[in-house]
Structure formats: structure tokens, C-alpha cells
Amino acid sequence: MVLEHLFPESWLEKKVGFAFLIAVIYSIIGIIAARLLFGANSGIVSVIFTSLLILPYLQKMFRKEEREEEKEQRASLKHFESILLFFKNNQAIRVYFAIFFGIFFTYAFASFILPQLGVNTFNVLKEQLFVDPALRGRAVFSFGTFISILANNWWVLLACFLLAIISGDGAIFFITWNASSWGAIFGYRALTAGLYANVNPWWYLFLVIIITLPHVILEGGAYILSAISGSIISDEIIQEKSDIRSFIFYIICGAGIIVLLRFIYKSLFGIGSLLIFNLITIIIITAMIYVIGRLFQQKRLKKVFLNNYTLFIIAIIVFVIGTLVETLVLNNVSILNKIYIFSHMFG
């Protein structure tokens, strides 16, 4: 790929600021290219383009020797100091965060500025904007907000982990998708709320980003941690080809069990209670992944799997905290509620 040679490889390996810059540049290229080539579905295609452009850099960053170094940095739930040391020394986490926020801010400013240039944002970022319940006329705030967010976003977290195991760094697609969706929604909400309330939209954009930043960092960080843990496991499985078939078999069986349980639960309790089932599956799948790790025959592979399973558990904990913070913000920050209501009324 020609674009791979635009920047030195050391930019991503050693300079997180340049990783942010690269994410911004590739996001802009992805948005423009998707709009020119796939106008009807440019939102989702822009995510694909951006992910494909960034992927070679992630593959360089996760070279074999760097993997070996990361595997020596153990994070243990029993020792808080080891967790702090892991986050301090892990370059991949910082690079992923830089990429995440580069994409996030690019899409936020795109959805905020494009309408002011006479461009219909829905024609460019339709898929991202229709993720927002408020823009589809559904209630944003309810007593079950926490449970709803937890149950729905859990599947994104799991997808990041499993896709990273299956395809290495392929989880960058889900990370890009969430960063672009949050950015596009927040930018559009701030602009439309400002226009409706006759308030400077830049002020509303600043407020929305500052208020939502804590849960964006936590939830985005959870997706990143699950992707990193899955990527490291993926490398080990590829090296031990004898275990690939077994691993795929375990994954297919596990998915089949979940589908069967869902069918039985739906038959007994109806579709209206599937939200509770989604919560139950968090426990089931988390335990199932642990069992799969214990089934590997080779001790080295089993050890790597279980060590990075700990990182996946940390990702789940961070995700739950992020969901709690998001719920508290949605239900208690009046200025954010007002901005969302103004945005909805504008539409």
C-alpha cells in the first residue's frame, strides 16, 4: 500500500502524537473516498476504508518481538501494582487510544462542520447518526438505562475480543466504528442543539465532549483492552497450528450453545425478556472463554491464553464502570439532557 510509506514506522512505535495525526489523516481520506465512491452507504464504508488504512500500522506495531515483550508484562487482578505497571509499560494501549481519539475527533468535527458548509450530514454519515436513539425518536433516558447499555454494548466488547483472536488486529473495525459513531453523534447533536436554541454551537460541542469524555475513555478503553488481549492470543494460536482446529471447534460449539440457550429462553419467557438473557450471557460467555483456555493441550499456549484472559476480565470491569458513568451522566447532568432535547426538537 502506497500510503504505508508516507510516515516512518517509528512514528507509531515511539510517538503516540503521530499515531493521533495518522488517524486523523486516514479518517479524512476514508470519509472523502467513501463519499465519492459509495455515496449511498458512505458512513459505514468510511469506517472500512479508515480501518484498512490503519491496519498495516497496527500489524507493524504488533511485530513478533514486541509481542514477546508484552507477554512478559503480566497484569494480575490479585496485585494492583502489576495492573498499573502493565498500563504504564504497554505501548500498544497508548497507540490504540491515540488512534481512537484521532478518529473520534475527526468524525465529530466532520458532522459538526459539514452542515455549515451546506453538506447534508445524513448523506455522508447516515449509518453513524442512526445509531443514536434520540435521532430515531426513541427515549434516551429510562430507569433501565444502565441495564440496556450494558447488555447491548457487551456484544461489541465480545466482538472485539473474538475478532481479534480470529483475525489478529481485525478488531480495529469495531474500534473505528464506535469512535466514528460517538464522534458523529456528539458533533451533530451539538450543532443542531445550538441552532435550535440560538446558542453558539461551538460552546455546546465543547460541553458535550467534556461531559461525555469520561465514559468515552472508559468504554473505548475496554474495547481496546479486549482487542489487545485477543490479538496476543491470536499470534500464539497461529504459531501452534495443531491447536487451530480445536480452537475453531470450541468457538463454534460455544456459539451454538448460546444460540440454543437464546432459543429456549425466548420460547419460555418471550422476546420482551431478552434483555435479561443478554445479561446472563455475559456470565456464561466469560466462563466459557475461560474453559476454552483450560482445554488447550500445550502448556505455553494455555499460559498465554489465561494471562490475556485476565486482561479481558479487566476490560469487562472497565466496561462496566464506563457504563455506570454513562448512566449517571445521562440521568443526572441537566445541561447534557437539554442539549439532547434541543437536538431532537431541531430534527
Residue 274 domain flag: no
Residue 307 domain flag: yes
Residue 120 domain flag: yes
Residue 11 domain flag: no
Domain holding 201, by residue range, is 96-240+298-346
pLDDT of 211 reads: 93
User: Please, which pLDDT band fits residue 207 given cuts at 50, 70 and 90?
Assistant: very high
Residue 49 domain flag: no
Q: Is 90 exceeded by the pLDDT of residue 271?
A: no
Q: Is 50 exceeded by the pLDDT of residue 69?
A: no
In whole angstroms, what is the distance from residue 46 CA to residue 26 CA? 10
Residue 80 domain flag: no
Q: Is 70 exceeded by the pLDDT of residue 316?
A: yes
- The string of pLDDT tens digits covering residues 216-238 is 999 999 998 888 888 777 776 66
Scanning the structure block, which residue is given the C-alpha cell 497507540?
95
Q: Which of 19-28, 88-97, 111-120, 328-337 has the lowest mean pLDDT?
A: 88-97
Q: Is 90 exceeded by the pLDDT of residue 204?
A: yes
pLDDT of 26 reads: 92
In whole angstroms, what is the distance from residue 41 CA to residue 131 CA? 14
Domain count for the chain: 1
Residue 3 domain flag: no
Alpha-helical regions (H) of 198-273: 201-239, 244-269
User: Please, which pLDDT band fits residue 62 given cuts at 50, 70 and 90?
Assistant: low
- The string of pLDDT tens digits covering residues 156-192 is 888 888 888 777 677 788 889 989 999 999 999 999 9
Q: Is 90 exceeded by the pLDDT of residue 102?
A: yes
DSSP state of 2: G
CB burial of 290-309 (b: ≥16 within 10 Å; e: otherwise) equals eebbeebeeeebbebbebbb
Type and span of the H or E element at 70 = helix 64-71
Closest CA to 308 of 80, 97, 67, 94: 67
DSSP string for 170-191: TTHHHHHHHHHHHHHHHHHHHH
Residue 273 domain flag: no
Kindly report the number of other CB atoms within 10 A of residue 80's CB atom.
Answer: 10
* Residue pair 225/174 in contact by the 8 Å Cβ criterion: no
Q: Which of 11-15, 118-122, 135-139 has the lowest mean pLDDT?
A: 135-139
In whole angstroms, what is the distance from residue 63 CA to residue 167 CA? 15
In whole angstroms, what is the distance from residue 346 CA to residue 225 CA? 37
- The string of pLDDT tens digits covering residues 272-304 is 666 677 777 788 888 877 777 776 666 666 777
Distance of CA 171 to the CA centre of its chain: 8
